[in-house]
Structure 1
Amino acid sequence: MRVLVTGGAGFIGSHLVDALLARGDTVTVVDDLSTGRDGRLAAGAGLCRESIMEAAALTALARRVRPDLICHLAAQADVRISVADVAGDTGVNILGTVSVLEAARAVGARVVFASTGGALYGAIDAVPSPENARPEPAAPYGAAKYCAEQYLGLYNRLYGTAHAVLRLGNVYGPRQDPAGEAGVVSIFCGAVLAGRRPTVFGDGKQTRDYVYVGDVVDAFLRAADHGGAGVWNIGTGVSTTILELLEAIGRTADQTVQPVFAAARLGELQHSALDVTRAGRELGWTARTALAEGITKVYRWIEAREPVRGEP
């Protein structure tokens, strides 16, 4: 296929680009490089440095490239930033998604959209959360992603398209910046390797569903090949506390990790995990990478000080 990947120079997007190229697809990346890095991209991927907020330019690019599929990963993905700048988060995650949908409509392309799991479901009783749970987002980021999902559904009803949604858990893996503001596995591994005590916000008993980036990429490929509309949770179904995560990192590092505790942050959930039954049934997908294995891959990648594309 001809595939356009928004946010393709990002952490998840660059792994997806690799997989698409490896199976013989023609790939064009749209990324404004505000958080993405062109060094993450493999040879063979064409990069257009453009923002999804530039609707006319995005549609013009789609008319030139004529993609069969658009994988939409470009986003403002930091919960804390969404709380501090609601309008900015709304602009990127809602209006930017509408721009992508209009570009897809101009050329008859199908869209597979990277949404969020925990941030969308919020503090509900059903954990692991199924796709039919009523969303109660606790932060603007989750609300914006849910609103963007509604636009995908609207386009499916209005124009007969077959756009699909993947609600992702907490994705981790190599190429996730250990000096960034998001991505606790990489941040914690980077701190341990630097001889610093990781900072835990809250009591450390909050839980997340950590899913390895390679498994997420597999889900994108399966959703692409599925060809139909759908909403699928992509996680492990397992709740892991921050303290358990630190213990696992400590086993990889062969040391006891002693965190520094700080006040909990506004808009962040206490508990989150995703029910992935539907993805298994309809996509034949399941997460295959155990947390200990994935943590080791991240730790060794940072330890080796490889270039940004490097793998251990």
Structure 2
Amino acid sequence: MNAAIVGASGYGGEILVKLLAAHPKVTLKAVTSRSQAGKPVSSVIPAMRGVLDDMLFENSDPAELAAREDIDVFFLALPHGAAATYARAIVDAGKKVIDLSADFRIADPATYEEFYGAEHPDVDLLGRAQYVMPELSDDSWKDKDLYACPGCYPTSILVPLLPLVKAGIVSKEHIVANSYSGTSGAGKQSKEAFSYCEVNESAKAYGVPKHRHLSEMEEQLTAAAGEKVIMQFNPHLAPMNRGIATTITVPSNGSTIEQLYAEWEKTYADKPFVTILPSDTRPDTKYVVGTNRVDISAVKDERTGNFVITSAEDNLVKGASGQAIQILNLWQGWDETTGLI
């Protein structure tokens, strides 16, 4: 399969370049960036020295990219709003799109407008798109033209929580999730708030009480529960480069910890990128960074009747680029782990 990456100079784009360049079933045909156009990929991404020395960043014109006959699938590593313009041109040209932005994660245009502060950029194309959680979506998504890759925070929360909500193991009310993300989650920004002196040796909450990713999580949980689910989500910026650590507190609904683990085992028994840890072990970002894995565990607090569920993942791999390649593998019928281990 011949692939292109649109917007490859950001952190997520860099990870896509590294993974796809090494993927045994993919030939990387184009890497684009308006800001880096004309520069060798290996000079902008030094890790690619000796690997992509002959490849240059190209200008990212939607019509020109869509007209390329040598490219089968496009990965969009672009900001929300911008991705839809490229997606429209590429899908209309009969090509497949795997989108890492938020443009097609939300099925309801009104919800998108509420959380992103603007009208959805292409409501018509929403009908040809599908939100894909590789471990949880059924196979019907493979017939769509555009695949929306989940966000980093939602992956760390929905993987452990969604099957429990769907099965009625936990309450659909009073769900609180606290997540801590490395600064790469904010992208390559030159703002003062993300300078070394501001983020080093410091942690703080932000985006409360209505972070944009909340819309994605509530929509997916509502679909799983069959009724409206509203949750509290408190994201934090942590003084580390990569990784997300999440703690979810949710009423147990009278369920036991054995029932919770049984549901997880049933859901993830054959899923290579979800590791279920013992109840007395807490996931640690140190051990998932650089992998496409999400580690999960849970304990029941008998004093409060709550489950305390924890997870850890790499926000740039499982939370973005690795999951996008996982979607490609599943769509093509390849081994799910191809190019990811």
Which TM bucket (shorter chain)? 0.3 to 0.5
Give the TM-score taking structure 2 as reference length: 0.41
Query: Which has a greater percent of strand?
Result: 2
| More helix per residue | 1
Query: Which has the higher Rg, Structure 1 or Structure 2?
Result: 2
